[in-house]
Structure formats: C-alpha cells, structure tokens
C-alpha cells in the first residue's frame, strides 16, 4: 500500500500525485516507470516516474484521466492508498554530454521528460525543450521545465499560448536555426511518430519513450511488444526508450487499440456506477 501525500490538478483531466514509495524514490533514475494497481480487482498499468524526493521517500506521478484505471487513480485523494505499486521498472535513460539536445514533449509527455532533461542538463548539455499541446490549458509543468532548459518553445494547436502550430513545426524551427546533436521525444504515439520523422529528415539521433499496454512490466507477458528495426522488443525490459527512427509506430498504434471495444464498454459501465 502506498499513501498519496499530495495531489494537484494541472488541467481538467491531468493530475499530479505525490506517492509514498521509499525504496523506489531512492533507486529510480530518469526514464524509469512504475506499475500500479487499484483495488483487488484492478488492472495493472504503467506510469512513468516524473520525479522523486528520496529524503521524504516519495515519487511524483502525472496522470491523464482517460480510462477506468486513470479515473479511479485520479479520484483518490490525499491520505488514500494505492493498493499496489512496483518499480522502478525499465531501463534508465542513457545520459551523456551530447551537446545540444532537443526535447519534444506532447501533452502529458512533459511529465516523464522532466527527469530526463534534469539529468541531461546536469550532464552539461544545452537543452532546448518544445512543449506542445492542443491548447494553453494542456501545457503542464512549464516552470519546472524552464528550470532545466536553456530555452523553452511553446506550441499550441489553437494558438491559445505560445506559437500556433504542431510540435514538429517548433522542432523544425530550432533545427533550421542551430545544430542539434540529439533529440528525445515523448508524447502520444502519433506525435512521436511525426516528431521522429522530422528528426530523421535531418539525421538527428532520436530516442522515443514508449508507453504501451503492459501487464506485469517485468518481461513476463509480452503484451508491450513492438517492432524496432524489424525485431520484436519488449518495452518493459528492453525500453521504454528506443531509437525513434527504428520504431514501427504504425504497429504500435495498432496494438494500443487492442482492447478499444473492451475499454469503451468498461468505461461506460464505470461511469454508470
């Protein structure tokens, strides 16, 4: 059982929870994720760790409310407990001094990016971050991102904040302006697909942090499998970060829809209860 000690609402559907997990708070590194489960009958879902406080023994999780489990999780309050939480899982982000790093975040992808740019900045990189979302309300963690970025570019689809346009436009403007040595992209699969296509055009080595369907999260089931460079990989143990130019995003998008019908039915049942 892991107690929730802080809760913050970023936007209508995006929340931050600070959760007691002393062992994870100490051992986690940028890029790691946890698996959580709510109640005896809950499902196991992966969530990337957005930060931690080893002294207080807490980790930060940012959750976008979409389906049954994320609704259950975000309806918990300070003092409530998450039934099961295990981690840190996955491989940590490979951090080194690349030079100039372009970090592109789509929506809640900003949360898992935060510890990565922190580590990159501390390793001596120049960090340029693009925060992209549909509208102003969905731009999250801007102040924290600024702390670890040399420059922050904000893009919104509707132009309600920053520059109007997609993440790829923000990225290309920077790439055309100065030399970028490395790029990291995190966000919805479709956003990562196009962000990866953009950097590929300019031959910029790019990592994408993937969030697929998982059950155990320890390499046991293969629910999270994807194709990278034509080879099957497990996101939970081989990732979650992969060479974005090698990832078959179309297959990944397809596999993310595996339970679409079941999810819709379950969500309707949940909301009617």
Partner 1 sequence: MENITDYYKSERAQEWRADIRKSVKVKERTSKERTKMPEQEPTVRNKNSLEVNLGLTEKIALKEAQRCIDCPDPTCVKGCPVNIYIPKFIKKIEIGDFLGAATVLKDTNTLPAVCGRVCPQEKQCEAQCFYTIKLNQPAVAIGFLERFAADYERNSGKTAIPEVAEPNGIKVASIGSGPASLAWSADMVKMGYDVTVFEALHEIGGVLKYGIPEFRLPNSVVDFEIDNLEKMGVKFVKNFVVGKTATIDDLRAKGFKAFFVGSGAGLPRFMNIPGENSIGIFSSNEYLTRVNLMGAAKDDYDTPVIIGKNVAVVGGGNTAMDSVRTAKRLGAERAMIIYRRSREEMPARLEEVHHAIDEEIEFLNLNNPVEYIADDKGRVQKVVLQKMELGEPDASGRRRPIPIEGSEYEIEVDEVVVAVGVSPNPLIPATVAGLETTKWGTIVVNDDLQSSVEDIFAGGDIVRGGATVILAMGDGRKAAEAMDKYIKEKIKN
Q: Which residues bind partner 1 (CB under 8 A)?
A: 23-24, 27, 37, 41-44, 68-69, 83-89, 215-216, 218-223, 225-227, 232, 237, 251, 254-255, 257-259, 262-263, 266
Nearer to partner 1 by Cβ, of 243 and 251: the residue is 251
Q: How far is the CB of 196 from partner 1 (least distance, A)?
A: 19
d(CA 164, CA 146): 20
Nearer to partner 1 by Cβ, of 69 and 110: the residue is 69
Q: How far is the CB of 270 from partner 1 (least distance, A)?
A: 9
Query: Dihedral angle at the C-alpha atoms of 250, 62, 20, 217, nearest 10 degrees?
Result: 0
Kindly calculate the radius of gyration of the chain based on its CA atoms and give it in whole angstroms: 18
Nearer to partner 1 by Cβ, of 30 and 141: the residue is 30
**Residues forming a β-bridge with 98:** none
Nearer to partner 1 by Cβ, of 3 and 44: the residue is 44
Look at residues 104, 144, 99, 149 and name the one whose alpha carbon lies nearest to residue 124.
99
Nearer to partner 1 by Cβ, of 42 and 188: the residue is 42
d(CA 251, CA 255): 6
Preceding amide of 88 cis, omega within 30: yes
Q: How far is the CB of 24 from partner 1 (least distance, A)?
A: 6
Locate tokens 């807490």: which residue? 58
Q: How far is the CB of 152 from partner 1 (least distance, A)?
A: 32
d(CA 156, CA 65): 20
d(CA 136, CA 178): 27
Handedness of CA 155, 158, 160, 164 (dihedral sign): positive
Q: How far is the CB of 44 from partner 1 (least distance, A)?
A: 7
Nearer to partner 1 by Cβ, of 141 and 252: the residue is 252
Q: How far is the CB of 158 from partner 1 (least distance, A)?
A: 30
DSSP 174: H
d(CA 179, CA 74): 41
Nearer to partner 1 by Cβ, of 60 and 167: the residue is 60
Q: How far is the CB of 41 from partner 1 (least distance, A)?
A: 4
């Amino acid at each position: 059982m892991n107690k929730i000690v802080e809760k913050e609402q970023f936007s209508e559907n995006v929340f931050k929870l600070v959760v007691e997990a002393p062992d994870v708070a100490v051992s986690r590194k940028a890029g790691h994720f946890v698996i959580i489960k709510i109640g005896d009958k809950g499902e196991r879902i992966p969530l990337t760790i957005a930060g931690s406080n080893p002294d207080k023994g807490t980790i930060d999780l940012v959750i976008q409310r979409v389906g049954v489990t994320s609704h259950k999780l975000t309806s918990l309050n300070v003092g409530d407990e998450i039934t099961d939480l295990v981690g840190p899982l996955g491989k940590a982000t490979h951090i080194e001094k690349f030079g100039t790093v372009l970090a592109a975040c789509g929506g809640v992808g900003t949360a898992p990016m935060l510890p990565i740019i922190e580590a990159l900045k501390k390793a001596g990189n120049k960090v340029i971050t693009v925060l992209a979302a549909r509208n102003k309300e969905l731009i999250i963690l801007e102040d924290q991102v600024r702390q670890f970025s040399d420059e922050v570019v904000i893009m919104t689809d509707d132009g309600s904040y920053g520059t109007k346009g997609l993440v790829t436009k923000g990225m290309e403007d920077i790439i055309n302006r100065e030399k970028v040595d490395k790029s990291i992209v995190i966000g919805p699969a479709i956003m990562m697909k196009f962000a990866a296509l953009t950097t590929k055009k300019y031959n910029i080595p790019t990592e994408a942090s993937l969030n697929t369907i998982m059950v155990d999260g320890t390499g046991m089931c293969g629910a999270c499998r994807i194709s990278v460079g034509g080879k099957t990989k497990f996101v939970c143990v081989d990732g979650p970060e992969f060479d974005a130019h090698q990832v078959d995003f179309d297959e990944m998008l397809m596999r993310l829809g595996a339970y679409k019908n079941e999810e819709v039915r379950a969500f309707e049942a949940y909301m009617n209860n």
